[in-house]
Amino acid sequence: MAESIGFLGPGLMGRGVVKNLLGKGYKVMVHAHREGMKLDDLVGAGAKVTRSLTEVAEKNGTIMLCVPSSKEVEAAILGAPGLLQGLGEGSVVIDLSTSLPASTRMLAACLRERKIDMLDAPMTGNPSHANAGELNLMIGGDKAVYEKCLPVFRAIAKNIIYVGATAHGNIVKLINNFLAQLSNAGIAEVLPLAAKAGVDLKALYDVVHVSGGNSRVFERSVPAICRRDFTVTFHLKLAHKDMSYMSAVGREYNVPLPMVNSLLNVLDVAKASGLGDENTSALVKLWERVSQVEVRKDGVGQ
């Protein structure tokens, strides 16, 4: 077990990760990626809080990042001050964020020159999974480093899958997120249509739930939308960021991704209309405004 882990990004997902690391006996030094984050619960659980990236780098051999985008990952590692200036040989940087694969490869190369290892280990799941230690991890990087870090991963995740070379974790994560957000976008389009046509939304749910159109996204989102519950588990602006990364990966490999880019266009409109800070399921509100109808029904999914 590592003596101490430096953790950057105790947000919606990161907070649960930190608590599980502490619960498994790790010492954790936490650095907030935003001003004003309340960390009393983490301090109460045993975490040490610092505002110094230099201290994080110098006092921890394993660093974990769980921040919104590659912009924050690059700033944390390459900035002045940044982690790169303080990390010693043999340290490991684990990026739990959903990052741009090209950025991950660049950062891994920079760290490798200093004899520092990097794993990209993006997560699937929601804050409740993070709190329960039941995340899914897809991990890219050197397999020997992955195996060395398995005890850390087992402390926070239920399903741990090694997917291959550096940045492959992020490619797999982006593909998964595209498939989930494609389903979310389809639901957002058709529910206002059903509501305006006068279709019984409970009957619609019951049919799709046992048919080919069903999905985990459908099962989770439709009942929540119908009861107007848009509790944030994944911000729409982060879905927008992920689809912009997915579009960039397509261009990098010269692979056309017309459905990715169509989805990105929809999320462009949703974000510009003020839905960026809402949950991804709030995409339905965009089409409700256009269609002048509200999707609401008691008892759906019960």
- What is the pLDDT at residue 3? 76
Whether residue 153 sits in one domain with residue 14: yes
Virtual torsion, Cα 34, 173, 248, 77, nearest 10 deg:
40
Looking at the structure, do residues 139 and 213 belong to the same domain, yes or no?
no
Residue 300 maps to a domain: no
Is the pLDDT at 122 greater than 70? The verdict is yes
Task: Quote the pLDDT of residue 1.
Answer: 45
161 and 283 together in one domain: no
Name the amino acid, one letter, at 290: V
Q: Is the pLDDT of residue 271 over 90?
A: yes
Statement: residue 267 has pLDDT above 70: yes
Residue count (the chain)? 302
Do 190 and 84 share a domain, yes or no?
A: no
Percent with pLDDT over 90 in the chain: 96
**CATH number for 214:** 1.10.1040.10
| pLDDT one-digit tens code per residue, 131-158 | 999 999 999 999 999 999 999 999 999 9
- What pTM was estimated for this model as a whole? 0.96
C-beta of residue 94 within 8 angstroms of C-beta of residue 116: no
Query: Locate tokens 């009861």: which residue?
Result: 227
Residue 69 domain-assigned (yes or no) = yes
130 and 275 co-located in one domain: no
Please tell me whether residues 214 and 141 are part of one structural domain: no
Strand pairing class (123-124; 135-140): antiparallel
DSSP state of 274: I
- Cα separation, 81 vs 85, in Å, equals 7
Is the per-residue pLDDT at 34 higher than 90?
A: no
* Same domain assignment for residues 135 and 195: no
CATH number of the structural domain spanning residue 154: 3.40.50.720
Residue ending a domain, choose from 118, 134, 165: 165
Give catalytic residue positions: 173
List pLDDT tens digits, range 89-104.
999 999 999 999 999 9
Which of 150, 165, 180 delimits the end of a domain? 165
What's the domain count of the chain? 2
Domain-terminating residue out of 112, 136, 165:
165
Domain that holds residue 102: 4-165
Asked if 86 and 53 count as a contact pair (C-beta separation under 8 A), the reply is yes
Are residues 56 and 141 located together in one domain of the fold?
yes
Q: Give the Cα separation of 30 and 20 in Å (integer).
A: 13
- Asked if residue 298 belongs to a domain, the reply is no
Do 97 and 197 fall within a single domain? no
pLDDT in tens, 166-189: 999 999 999 999 999 999 999 999
Q: How confident is the model at residue 208 (pLDDT cuts 50, 70, 90)?
A: very high
- Spatial CB neighbours of 256, under 8 Å, sequence gap ≥ 6: 250
Q: What is the pLDDT of residue 105?
A: 98
For residue 296, tell me if it sits in a domain: no
If residue 180 lies in a helix (H) or strand (E), which one and from where to where? helix 168-197
**123-124 vs 117-120, strand pairing mode:** unpaired
